[in-house]
Amino acid sequence: MTDNLPVKYTRTDLENAKTKGQLIGWVQAGAVVLGGVLLLKAIGLIPVLLVVGAAAFIGYKVVTRKKTGGSA
């Protein structure tokens, strides 16, 4: 898959980009968890669960909505 890359990118460049992307992902996930903990401490468990549940429900509805075949 990566054998047809442009000459300007080496395998080392790809590995460095992959590692950097993974590191950024871990930092973002840590920030989300920290924000969730702070929010939980600030307003309590029930409001946080309600917001998370509502967000999950809306996300589920968006992901599973039926696509219409009509053209606009």
In this structure, is residue 47 part of a structural domain? yes
DSSP string, 2-68: -TT--TT--HHHHHHHHHHHHHHHHHHHHHHHHHHHHHHHHH-HHHHHHHHHHHHHHHHHHHHPPPP
Share of the chain above pLDDT 90, in %: 47
In this structure, is residue 60 part of a structural domain? yes
* Total count of domains within the chain: 1
In this structure, is residue 20 part of a structural domain? yes
In this structure, is residue 70 part of a structural domain? no
Contact of 48 with 36, CB cutoff 8 Å: yes
Q: Convert the pLDDT of each residue in 10-45 to its tens digit.
A: 889 999 999 999 999 999 999 999 998 998 889 898
In this structure, is residue 23 part of a structural domain? yes
Q: Which domain holds residue 56?
A: 11-64
Q: What is the pLDDT of residue 15?
A: 93
In this structure, is residue 71 part of a structural domain? no
In this structure, is residue 30 part of a structural domain? yes
